[in-house]
Structure 1
Amino acid sequence: MNDIGAELAEICDAAAALILPLWRTGLAVAQKADESPVTEADRQGEALILKALAERFPDIPVVSEEDASEFGAPEAIGPRFFLVDPLDGTKAFVRGDPHFTVNIGLIQDGRPVAGAVASPPSGEVWYTQGGQAMKRLQGVPARPVRARPWPDGAALALLSHTMKPETADKLAQEYGFHLREPMDSSIKLCRIAEGMADIYPRHGPTMEWDTAAGHAVLAAAGGRLTTPEGQPFLYGKAHEGFRNGWFVARGA
């Protein structure tokens, strides 16, 4: 029942096809209560995903970003539920940058057990299937991907686009990486999952729907996402409004 990553990938694909024509079209940008941006692409993508999940998995509840922003996150959630971010990286989307993604993750007992992430600009889709992580491009058959071992002297960190240089320097000393590249959205987790980068330390706020799908893909690829102390990174924190604490994502 947890091996539904390919189905989630199909839904992410459909949402990506809806969102992509709206990119770089000058969509109006509104501000949510937390002052983060939202566009019609976010709303249309979420509506498509929620409809598809309700049709395919009617018994599994969904916690989604825009619905939670407008109506409030649920105050309690069961052990099995979906986390949806229809457009992670809205700021990048608004700037015209290509690093934004569509995300659906399935949580079971606090852990991500299936997920899919789509990158509308590149046509890439990563998803879980059969205990491994898969990647496909439009028109190209899917293939397994794996996180790579830590490359001594050449470890690449993916860092938030807005991170200050002094903060990045401090993280480099703390975690021992040598190279760095700015990047938005959950695509950072997928790049680590496919062995293109090595670490993503996040010492700042995120929400559970930002990370669940990418976390599932990374774990299936042999990587890990933990607290900075190395403890399991859990989901379903309804009492905290589904807010994440700090985390570190690493390759193999």
Structure 2
Amino acid sequence: MPYTDLLESALCIATQAGERIMAIYRSGDFTVTHKGDDSPLTQADLAAHRYIADELARLAPEIPLLSEEDADIAYSTRSTWTRYWLVDPLDGTREFIRRNPDFTVNIALIVDGYPQLGVVHAPALGISWIAAEGVGCWRIENGERRALKTRRKPELPVFVISQSHQNPALAEFLSRAPKHEAVSRGSSLKFCLIAEGLADLYPRTGPISEWDSGAGQCVAEQAGAQVLRLPARTRLGYNEKASLINPLFAVIGDPSADWDAVLASIRA
């Protein structure tokens, strides 16, 4: 199936998963449990996971799935995959619990270790960001699509930072960084701000999992950004090791600008 068709199908699945999340969000009737890593889990996470898993299996039964809510797959098995779906059914569960609308549904297609298709859907905001290699990158709101492109680095760059995962390393980086403006957003929306040309740098100083970044990386890259692991400054890849935790990375909207001093100062 061409990426154009797959992208539209993945968007439909993400949107319908978002409807299931919003039904629970609006009801306010949900319990919060915690997984082994102390991350929160709600009925919305599980409802979205079940729907996405079933629909992706119908759409492309030959493509395996790795989801945050079904991640117990041995690396000996995963390492044989040349392509697979990488899904976070509800990215930003903490925001969901706090009634903050900065949560998303993330669906990515990873091919040979890199995201080739990505959908980031923010159901509480009514906005989707979609992209695929060789197809394009768009923001969708109220049925209208707008092609996305990152911007040139301005004199006063905007850094977009995590809303729920700030740490001393981030505070230290921001205190050392050249003059800038900082805004905080939740979930994969940080990638999307870069793609839209509303921010210039997303420094990731704390651990997140691969399903947190796959779809957003595709959107940002297809809009013209680079997503670089640090300190190596090579493209962030996937399914390269047993652990599903990403290394430090940075998303830069204008790869032609000089980011050397800034990137060198991003540390764990």
Say yes or no: TM over 0.5: yes
- Runs of 5+ in structure 2 lacking a partner? 255-268
Q: Of 116, 122, 138, which residue of structure 2 is paired with 1:134?
A: 138
Q: 1:194 — aligned with what? A: 196
Q: Describe the SS at the equivalent of 1:239.
A: coil
Shift of 1:161: 1.8
CA 1:233–1:165: 2 relative to 1, 3 Å: closer
CA 1:174–1:114: 2 relative to 1, 3 Å: farther
Q: Describe the SS at the equivalent of 2:198.
A: coil
AA aligned opposite 2:106: N
- Rounded to whole Å, the distance in 1 between the matches of 2:74 and 2:145 is 36
- Rounded to whole Å, the distance in 1 between the matches of 2:40 and 2:23 is 19
Shift of 1:112: 0.4
Where does 1:63-74 land on structure 2 (aligned, <5 Å)?
63-68=66-71, 72-74=72-74
Q: Of 121, 126, 130, which residue of structure 1 is paired with 2:124?
A: 121
Identical positions, percent:
34
Deviations 1:109-139 (A, max 9, x none): 111000100001111001114432111113x
Shift of 1:174: 5.6
- Rounded to whole Å, the distance in 2 between the matches of 1:239 and 1:222 is 30
1:48 corresponds to 2:51: yes
Shift of 1:172: 3.0
- Rounded to whole Å, the distance in 1 between the matches of 2:230 and 2:179 is 15
Q: Quick check: 1:134–1:144 contact (8 Å CA) kept in 2?
A: yes
Q: Of 204, 208, 211, which residue of structure 1 is paired with 2:210?
A: 208
- Rounded to whole Å, the distance in 2 between the matches of 1:164 and 1:9 is 30
- Rounded to whole Å, the distance in 1 between the matches of 2:236 and 2:166 is 25
Q: 1:79 — aligned with what? A: 82
AA aligned opposite 2:111: Q
CA 1:162–1:119: 2 relative to 1, 3 Å: closer
Q: What's the Cα RMSD here?
A: 1.8
Q: Describe the SS at the equivalent of 2:234.
A: coil
- Rounded to whole Å, the distance in 2 between the matches of 1:193 and 1:113 is 15
Q: Which moved more, 1:21-30 or 1:183-192?
A: 21-30
- Rounded to whole Å, the distance in 2 between the matches of 1:207 and 1:163 is 13
Aligned residues: 246
Where does 1:140-155 land on structure 2 (aligned, <5 Å)?
140-152=143-155, 154-155=156-157
AA aligned opposite 1:221: A
Q: Quick check: 2:94–2:164 contact (8 Å CA) kept in 1?
A: no
Shift of 1:173: 5.5
Deviations 1:89-118 (A, max 9, x none): 000100111110000000011110001000
Q: 2:258 — aligned with what? A: none
Q: 2:265 — aligned with what? A: none
- Name the structure, 1 or 2, with higher relative contact order (CA <8 Å, separation 6+): 1
Q: 2:96 — aligned with what? A: 93
* TM-score normalised to structure 1 length: 0.91
- Rounded to whole Å, the distance in 1 between the matches of 2:23 and 2:124 is 10
Q: 2:229 — aligned with what? A: 227
* TM-score normalised to structure 2 length: 0.86
Deviations 1:16-41 (A, max 9, x none): 11111211504100100111000000
- Rounded to whole Å, the distance in 1 between the matches of 2:179 and 2:129 is 25
- Rounded to whole Å, the distance in 1 between the matches of 2:83 and 2:251 is 23
Shift of 1:162: 3.9
CA 1:206–1:165: 2 relative to 1, 3 Å: closer
AA aligned opposite 2:88: D
Q: Describe the SS at the equivalent of 1:23.
A: helix
Q: Of 60, 63, 72, which residue of structure 2 is paired with 1:57?
A: 60
Q: Quick check: 1:156–1:177 contact (8 Å CA) kept in 2?
A: no
- Runs of 5+ in structure 1 lacking a partner? none
